Amino acid sequence: MSTTLTIARPDDWHLHLRDSAILQTVLPETARHFARAIVMPNLVPPVVTGAQAAAYRERIMAALPEGMTFQPLMTLYLTEDTDPEDLAAAHASGLITSVKLYPAGATTNSSSGVTNFDKVRPVLEKMAEIGCPLCVHGEVTDREIDIFDREAVFIDRVLDPIRKATPGLRVVMEHITTKNGADYVLANDKDLGATITVQHLILDRNDMLVGGMRPHYYCLPILKRREHREALLAAATSGDTRFFLGTDSAPHPTHAKEAECCAAGCFTAPNALSILAQTFEQAGALDKLEGFTSLHGPAFYGLPVNTDTITLTKGDTEVTYPNALQAGEHTVTVFDPGFPLYWSVG
């Protein structure tokens, strides 16, 4: 017995493609299933100017295997020195789709991010004026604030004041991990959306920490307690158009994950859709999957829904993925959901 589900081809509204050998390895994993992705700019050095975004876009297209199609939706990395005119020109030409705010030090490659939010006010005002959305890594970096509270505190101390001070600014709360994040979206229906990752829908902090630390489950914002996961799953499966998929697939070399101080990020691109289909089915919400993966994101960004489709099939036998992929001289370890998968993407 098999069950099939055909949906409009998904997009990934938060993705790390990296560069060089890792880019070569991970790009086909996304392009196989997704038509478009919002490509994160946290390279070293970061993608700050329009010229850098254009060059990165070319490197991505050059890495795309023959016969595959994929549209990278480029972003700029917001710094305290970002030039509003360069940003506006990159947006007007269609080169960039959004701008990414990293609080300095919040996550992987975020040291050039923002410390003093007043300094970026003119840029945010320009973005509101031209209709360029802001994607936000929503965590404070204050050492006084417990890592499990950093998202909730960011909403109160940074995000809400920015939104009140900049009417019309469209904001995507990237990779929300808490009930506080979902509730904030639900309470603010204008100009606000949120992406949710695969791992935050299926794992809580016990999965990462009980019985030993699992570095491949370590990502930022960190996995939270179960009630937060449940709130995220409820949001994702609700059909509410403000919530959409951003896998945050974030490959790191295996040696950097399995290290004394492990890098943050889960590489979920290969099996994200298998895991999601199974998760939505278990939640009794398979009919809401297409909205989450393929319809709500384009609606937020004002882009057309993809015209082609993918078919997901549930079979009787377990679907397996490689444990790791070779990337130059290193490997990147593929995310293991911790349960057998029966859904494949045709």
**48 SS3 class:** coil
Q: Is 268 one of the binding residues for Zn ion (CB under 5 A)?
A: no
CA dist 35 to 13, 31, 146, 308, Å?
Answer: 11, 6, 38, 9
251, 301, 317, 304: which is closest to 135 by C-alpha? 301
Which of 17, 219, 235, 327 contacts ligand NCD by CB under 6 A?
Answer: 219
Q: How would DSSP label each residue in 35-47?
A: SEEEE----SS--
Nearer to ligand NCD, 134 or 250 (CB): 250
Which of 27, 140, 220, 231 contacts ligand NCD by CB under 6 A?
Answer: 220
What is the distance between the alpha carbons of residues 192 and 295, in angstroms, rounded to a whole number?
16
Residue with tokens 């929300």: 176
Nearer to ligand NCD, 263 or 273 (CB): 263
Q: Is 265 one of the binding residues for ligand NCD (CB under 6 A)?
A: yes
Nearer to ligand NCD, 107 or 344 (CB): 107
Site stretch for Zn ion (CB under 5 A), options 74-82, 228-236, 241-249, 252-260:
241-249
What's the min distance (Å) between Cβ of 176 and ligand NCD?
Answer: 12
What is the distance between the alpha carbons of residues 41 and 37, in angstroms, rounded to a whole number?
12
Strand 324-327 and strand 330-333: the pairing is antiparallel
According to CB under 6 A, which residues from 92 to 111 bind ligand NCD?
107-108
Q: Is 248 one of the binding residues for Zn ion (CB under 5 A)?
A: yes
194, 200, 244: which is closest to 218 by C-alpha? 200
Nearer to Zn ion, 137 or 179 (CB): 137
Catalytic-labelled residue, pool 248, 308, 316, 336:
248
Q: What angle do CA 221, 204, 281 make, to 5 degrees?
A: 110
List, in order, residues 6 or more apart from 212 with CB less than 8 Å away: none
Q: Is 248 a catalytic residue?
A: yes
Give the bridge partners for 36, in sequence order.
Answer: 71
Cis, peptide link before residue 221, omega less than 30° from 0:
yes
Which of 250, 269, 275, 276 contacts ligand NCD by CB under 6 A?
Answer: 250
Binding mask 26-45 for ligand NCD (x = CB under 6 A): ----------------x---
Which of 137, 179, 224, 296 contacts Zn ion by CB under 5 A?
Answer: 137
Give catalytic residues, as residue numbers: 248
Q: By the criterion CB under 6 A, which residues form the site for ligand NCD? A: 16, 42, 107-108, 137, 219-220, 248, 250, 264-265
